[in-house]
Amino acid sequence: HPQPLSRSTKNNTTMAGGKIQKKRHGGGGARLQGGIPFEKSKGQHILRNPALVDSIIAKAGLKPTDTVLEIGPGTGNLTKRLLEAGVKAVVAVELDPRMVLELSRRFQGHPLSSRLKVIQGDVLKCDLPYFDICVANIPYQISSPLTFKLLSHRPIFRCAVIMFQREFAMRLVAQPGDTLYCRLSVNVQLLSRVSHLLKVGRNNFRPPPKVDSSVVRIEPRKPLPPVSFKEWDGLVRICFNRKNKTLGSLFKQKRVLELLEKNYKTMQSLQLAQDSGTGEEKMSPYDVALLANMVEDLSMETSDEKEDDDMEMDDADAADGRTSFKEKIMGILQQGDFAEKRSSKLSQVDFLYLLSLFNKAGIHFS
């Protein structure tokens, strides 16, 4: 769903990937067969390469019993192939009423039309129905919130095969040590297995977007890891504030220590410092859905970390008793041999172990 345009860009259109282009008044621009122009502000870049559509269908691993969720069907090129693949049903969610009308015209009288249901609405705002597989060529500006909305959906689906902007896709699949490894990588990979399937050049679309694309497969983990997602993201947010600094340096920051000490005292007063439950699923769909709002900072973080004005705690703070708490935090980091390590090189297992060490010591991040 496109973001509202600011006054300074009211005569511009937002491109997929956040690019801005001057509106052309008068003719020009790609159009549907009926003469309706595509709206780039809605991310309308229609797949025109039949071989690519077939490849996406093949990668989805469809079964005759599957209900497929398609997001942004456009003129129905992918929709048609999904129906012809013999699935039980296709549920297509489309924001643009003109495209909904085009779909109804295209499939009117089609022998498989009874298997197609079209929902007109904003996929980020509407309640999604049950589905087994999601196949989508989405507007790139909704990549981050849509990914986490899908991962918070219950019951858990089997897999999603989605076209993303190339750089966003490479962040999803980035591994420790990669330049693009970031909070987005860590959070999505906690919840799912992600794999890169296809590179897609911009000329496969009409009209061509300004950026290249990639098709990614996302398979939700079953069961979810036994961790509170709010806790997890609280830890990862601190660690990736400056991902190339050592954890020892990050956790000496006065702001971080104040936050953790406040949480520590609160949990102690509630007598909840130690969670006695084991093996249960602590991560709720609500936890995951919280991430759907973290669009800007999660989706396109740069490898150059933000400058941080936070100062390390100095000797003047010793008088108020924070020195002992700082030593407690440093002791936890040293216990797991994390003090000299950097977030950019840590794996999922490393972060889960670090969080468990903090939690066992009564240190919480939410």
69 occurs within a structural domain: yes
What pLDDT was estimated at residue 299?
39
122 among annotated binding-site residues: yes
**Number of structural domains in the chain:** 2
In whole angstroms, what is the distance from residue 160 CA to residue 165 CA? Answer: 16
Nearest to 273 by CA among 198, 361, 340: 361
Mean pLDDT of the chain: 81
What pLDDT was estimated at residue 295?
37
Q: Which two tokens stand for residue 203?
A: 């000329």
321 among annotated binding-site residues: no
Of 188, 220, 252, which one is at a domain's C-terminal end? 220
26 among annotated binding-site residues: no
Q: Which range marks the domain in which residue 324 is found?
A: 226-273+318-365
Q: Where residue 108 falls among pLDDT bands split at 50, 70, 90? A: very high
284 occurs within a structural domain: no
Query: Does residue 334 share a domain with residue 196?
Result: no
Query: Does residue 237 share a domain with residue 138?
Result: no
For the chain, percent of residues with pLDDT exceeding 70 = 73
Query: Does residue 114 share a domain with residue 262?
Result: no
Q: Where residue 47 falls among pLDDT bands split at 50, 70, 90? A: confident
Query: Does residue 169 share a domain with residue 249?
Result: no
Alpha-carbon torsion angle 122, 127, 132, 135, nearest 10: 10
56 occurs within a structural domain: yes
Query: Does residue 104 share a domain with residue 64?
Result: yes
What are the C-alpha distances in Å from 223 to residues 158, 194, 198, 241, 285? Answer: 12, 16, 28, 29, 12
In whole angstroms, what is the distance from residue 76 CA to residue 106 CA? Answer: 8
Query: Does residue 255 share a domain with residue 205?
Result: no
In whole angstroms, what is the distance from residue 195 CA to residue 21 CA? Answer: 32
In whole angstroms, what is the distance from residue 337 CA to residue 246 CA? Answer: 11
Of 178, 201, 220, which one is at a domain's C-terminal end? 220
178 among annotated binding-site residues: no
Letter string b/e over residues 280-295, b meaning 16 or more CB atoms within 10 A of that residue's CB? eebbeeebbbebbebb
Range among 47-51, 100-104, 314-318 with highest mean pLDDT value? 100-104
Q: Which CATH number does the domain housing residue 250 bear? A: 1.10.8.480
Query: Does residue 259 share a domain with residue 191?
Result: no
21 occurs within a structural domain: no
Query: Does residue 178 share a domain with residue 248?
Result: no
In whole angstroms, what is the distance from residue 332 CA to residue 360 CA? Answer: 10
Q: Where residue 208 falls among pLDDT bands split at 50, 70, 90? A: confident
> Given a cut of 60, is residue 316 above it in pLDDT?
no
DSSP conformation letters of 174-209: --TT-TT--HHHHHHHHHEEEEEEEEE-GGGEES--
Query: Does residue 149 share a domain with residue 215?
Result: yes
35 conformational bin, left if phi > 0, alpha if psi -120 to 50, beta if neither: left
Q: Which two tokens stand for residue 248?
A: 């020892």
Query: Does residue 235 share a domain with residue 164?
Result: no
Q: CB of 322 within 8 A of CB of 218?
A: no
In whole angstroms, what is the distance from residue 69 CA to residue 135 CA? Answer: 6
User: DSSP 3-state assignment of 6?
Assistant: coil
Q: Where residue 57 falls among pLDDT bands split at 50, 70, 90? A: very high
180 occurs within a structural domain: yes
Q: Which CATH number does the domain housing residue 96 bear? A: 3.40.50.150
300 occurs within a structural domain: no
Query: Does residue 70 share a domain with residue 117?
Result: yes
Span 116-151, pLDDT tens digits: 999 999 999 999 999 999 999 888 889 999 999 999
In whole angstroms, what is the distance from residue 220 CA to residue 188 CA? Answer: 9
In whole angstroms, what is the distance from residue 149 CA to residue 128 CA? Answer: 9
82 occurs within a structural domain: yes
> Given a cut of 70, is residue 282 above it in pLDDT?
no
pLDDT, average across residues 227-238: 92
Handedness of CA 225, 228, 229, 233 (dihedral sign): negative
263 among annotated binding-site residues: no
> Given a cut of 80, is residue 220 above it in pLDDT?
yes
Of 220, 236, 255, which one is at a domain's C-terminal end? 220
168 occurs within a structural domain: yes
* Model confidence, pTM: 0.78
The more confident residue out of 27 and 285 is: 285
Query: Does residue 230 share a domain with residue 202?
Result: no
180 among annotated binding-site residues: no
